Amino acid sequence: MTLASPTFLSLCFAAIVLGRLFGELTARELALAFVNILALTVALTSWHAALVLGLLSLFVYGLGQIVMRAPQARGAAVTGTAIFALWATLFLLKDPGLLPAVNPFAGFPVAILGISYVTFRCISYLMEIVALPNANPIRFFNYIMFFPTLTAGPIDRWRNFSTTMREPVFDEVLPSLHRIANGFIKKFVLADNLASFGVPEVSRLNAGGEASTELLWLAGAFQLFLIYLDFSGYCDIVIGASRLMGIKVIENFNYPFKSRNIQEFWERWHISLSSLIRDYVFTPVTKQIFTKTRRIAQFPLVVTSYFFVMILIALWHGTSIGFLLFGIAQGAALAFYQLWRTYKTVLFGKSTDRSPVNRWIAVAATYLFVSLTLILWMSVDNSWSAYLRGMMGMS
């Protein structure tokens, strides 16, 4: 179900009309649930996938009820265990070849569209259920299965979704339509037409032939821009369509190409994922480090937590060695940036240079670093290693 397919557009139309037709909250929620179920019947390819997704939903909803009623300490323990179990299930589901001895999906692969996003919404639900209790299974179902965000996010927070369901905003019709049109131009006009850039070179490499080194570098440098067009275009369509339904979905990008360092980049890129990991993993971990460890151990531990968080983000996308290396590279860059930020004044004195040239160099370096490390995502048959060899003229 692509965003330009008649199915998706019809489902959006149905959700918009029904959402505006029913003013009363329960009726609106039931109508949205009906459209979400219709979308799931299209998106899920087998009854196994429906069964796993159904069991996962029941498990998380049930746990939410326990956490909501449990004393704080026990609730936190249940949430922690459940989140660990959800992560483990996600990894085992996404990669049936992972730990075959204990993986229940090893001989029984189940492909579920958007499972990474559904799992993260489940985690958000469990993390925020105490602050915003919920006894309404329909709202929970609509939250984790909201069809425009089902396949590729943004990963909305429970807090945000619950509020926007109760207080819908219907008055932004023209801006929403513009947002959808911008998304279509980015994704289906620009990204789709430019996507083949560099592909013949990579195919030649994979076939054991030679490829132009310059073109490979150019295609590598272009990679991030292409992904941006594709993903932010997708998000524009989803956010615009959701606004027409009265639902305000979280933004996913904030001018990422303005970033002057790697930390700023990850604060501006795929915000719904990076902010979730920051709030639920990085901040609690660093808080523990600063309150429970000796001063001398704090810096190395914080640097280690950067690696941990970036590897987590990378593995969330896929469990191959390429993703792992991508996570390590991003973690290393973040750690290096922290070292640089801490010691640059000590080493070079306080800088007063605010020239635009320096800013542009920083912006270009950040962009190029991320774009070139994205080559590691080409994980099918480890084709990234052939690509890197080709870039060095060693193919």
At its nearest, how many Å lie between another protein and the CB of residue 171? 13
Q: What angle do CA 24, 25, 27 make, to 5 degrees?
A: 70
For residues 51 and 181, which CB has a smaller minimum distance to another protein in the complex?
Answer: 181
Rounded CA separation 65/43 (Å): 28
**Residue among 102, 131, 174, 347 that touches another protein (CB under 8 A):** 174
Rule CB under 8 A: say whether 33 interacts with another protein: no
Candidates 11-19, 176-184, 325-333, 378-386 — which segment interacts with another protein by CB under 8 A? 176-184
Rule CB under 8 A: say whether 181 interacts with another protein: yes
**Residue among 4, 9, 58, 339 that touches another protein (CB under 8 A):** 4
Q: Element (H or E) spanning 156, and its range? A: none
At its nearest, how many Å lie between another protein and the CB of residue 27? 31
Rounded CA separation 363/367 (Å): 6
For residues 177 and 362, which CB has a smaller minimum distance to another protein in the complex?
Answer: 177
Rule CB under 8 A: say whether 184 interacts with another protein: yes
Long-range contacts of 60-67 (CB under 8 A, 24+ apart): 60/86, 60/122, 60/125, 60/126, 60/140, 60/144, 61/137, 61/140, 63/126, 64/125, 64/126, 64/129, 64/134, 64/140, 65/135, 67/126, 67/129, 67/130
Rule CB under 8 A: say whether 221 interacts with another protein: no
**Residue among 134, 151, 182, 286 that touches another protein (CB under 8 A):** 182
Q: Binding to another protein (CB under 8 A): which residues in 189-218?
A: 189, 192-193
- Cα separations in angstroms, 341 against 269, 357, 359, 363, 369: 21, 19, 15, 16, 18
* Number of neighbours of residue 31 by Cβ within 10 angstroms: 20
Candidates 12-20, 173-181, 334-342, 368-376 — which segment interacts with another protein by CB under 8 A? 173-181
Binding residues for another protein, rule: CB under 8 A, are: 4, 174, 177-178, 181-182, 184-185, 188-189, 192-193
